[in-house]
Amino acid sequence: MTFDARTSPVLSRSRASSDFMWRDGRIEVRKTGVRLSPDLKLAAEVVSWIVYLSLLGLVSAISFMRRRTPLSVWFAPDRPRPWYLIRGAALWGGIGVADSVRTADAAIYFDDVTCGAARPVVGLRSLNFGCDDVSKSHVARVFEAVFGYPLSVDPRTATGQIVEKSETNGVHDGRIVQAPLIPRPGYAYQRLIDTADSAGYSRDLRTPCAGGEPVLVWIKVKPAGARFAIHNRKATLHDPREIYSPRELEQIRAFNARMGADWGGLDILRDRNDGRIYIVDVNKTDVGPVIALSWVDKIISMNRLSKALERLVRGG
């Protein structure tokens, strides 16, 4: 397999534009149905993405030229665009997309849907094919089974403030509601986790994992009133051992194993009242790196993630 900058997916505008459409005054992602409002925050992030994708194209060209032994993966049923973290990590490390299953070193299940139908490739190392349900209720059931304490609540019997979220992945429509209440179809209900720091900002622990192992942690900081929003005020890079105890890291590995997640980003919250962590979302098709990171943290993150992906593909 050869790399040609003229046909690189990083640089192809026509293919990228086919993923989006304009509907009712908002930008809609065709595959997932997620809709984005065109505002100044989105415009600033688009500019940051353009700069990042340009950098990714340069690094990827150098990595492909330097790689002595070709390494490639087969994505099924879809081929991810470079803004998805797994494709970015592959390009960053010079890992190509195989032209067929016969020439691939591994097969990776990639389908940006909440519930899919994954069929492992016989005779080839298959990754993420056990992770075909990332609905909020399924994530909460697996979380409770592994960690031993609940995330989900019954909105009909709970009292006080709880969180209501769509079962659909990536919608960012969470909101705080008052229980008890009648549940809405297609929504999951969770306990309200207080992640506020001393300044009153909410802190999310986005944790990309490879082979079930946390690779790094991005602490995402948001205003308390926008804790469910897609935009971050800032983000910083950390080693997982700085954030999680040895016991928590063991539980995260066990959680990933039960989810069937070989690659993906976990959204983890730490409650400042009881000190416990809660895995609230599994992103098997996560986008990244987080735009709010500094450029130094972006580069360090992609170096680590590309190496982790290579080990995963090789089976090391």
Per-residue exposure over 13-51, b if at least 16 CB sit within 10 Å of its own CB, e if not: eeeeeeeeeeeeeeebeeebebebeeeeeeeebeeeeee
User: Which 8-state DSSP code applies to residue 271?
Assistant: -
The answer to whether the bond into 208 is cis (omega within 30° of 0) is no
The tens digit of pLDDT for each residue in 191-245 reads 999 999 888 899 999 999 999 999 999 999 998 888 888 788 999 999 999 999 9
- Mean pLDDT check: name the lowest of 2-11, 76-85, 183-192, 277-286: 2-11
Q: Is the pLDDT of residue 14 over 70?
A: no
**CB within 8 A of 157, min separation 6: which ones?**
179, 180
The tens digit of pLDDT for each residue in 29-70 reads 555 555 556 677 778 888 999 999 999 999 999 999 999 899
Identify the three-state secondary structure at position 127.
Answer: strand
pLDDT of the residue at 222: 93
The tens digit of pLDDT for each residue in 137-149 reads 999 999 999 999 9
Average pLDDT, the chain: 89
**Mean per-residue pLDDT for 161-179?**
92
Q: What is the dotted CATH code of the domain comprising 136-149+195-283?
A: 3.30.470.20
Domain borders along the chain are 5-132+297-314, 136-149+195-283
The tens digit of pLDDT for each residue in 260-312 reads 999 999 999 999 999 999 999 999 999 999 999 999 999 999 999 999 999 99
**Which among 109, 121, 129, 69 has a CA at the least distance from the CA of 93?**
69
pLDDT of the residue at 35: 52
Identify the three-state secondary structure at position 3.
Answer: coil
